[in-house]
Amino acid sequence: MGTDNVAERIENQVRAKLARFEERLTRVEVHVSDENGRKGGADDKTCTIEVRPRGDRPIGVTEHAADVDTAARKAANTMAQRLERVLGREERHKHDQRPDKVI
């Protein structure tokens, strides 16, 4: 997959997907696990991403897949969509103050 280091690959995937939100986030945490360990199983790899938007509560997502790279990619995509909704909503509700009087 280009990079032998799994942590580095996943970090690069998540950074690339969330780059446009970078200045509005104070923290990003990524946790990857294998739920079944050596037993194996379909979609037993899990990736959880938690972000903290500046001045807001944390947002978390978890995705499952057969391999960690796919789980991370799915989680990053889901997080980007969630941030677009949450942070985009804030942008839409920011209005310039209305003038006191219209002439």
Q: Number of folded domains in the chain?
A: 1
Rounded Cα distance between 49 and 29, Å, is 6
What CATH number does the domain containing 21 carry? 3.30.160.100
- Containing domain of residue 27, as a range? 6-87
pTM of the model: 0.78
pLDDT averaged over the chain? 86
Q: Which pLDDT value is given to residue 41?
A: 67
Q: Which pLDDT value is given to residue 93?
A: 55
In a domain, 100, yes or no: no
Dump pLDDT digits (tens) for 25-34. 999 999 999 8
3-state secondary structure of 43: coil
Spatial contact of 61 and 79, defined as CB atoms under 8 Å apart: yes
**Pick from 19-33, 49-63, 84-98: least confident:** 84-98
In a domain, 93, yes or no: no
In a domain, 41, yes or no: yes
In a domain, 24, yes or no: yes
Residues 6+ apart with CB under 8 A from 100: none
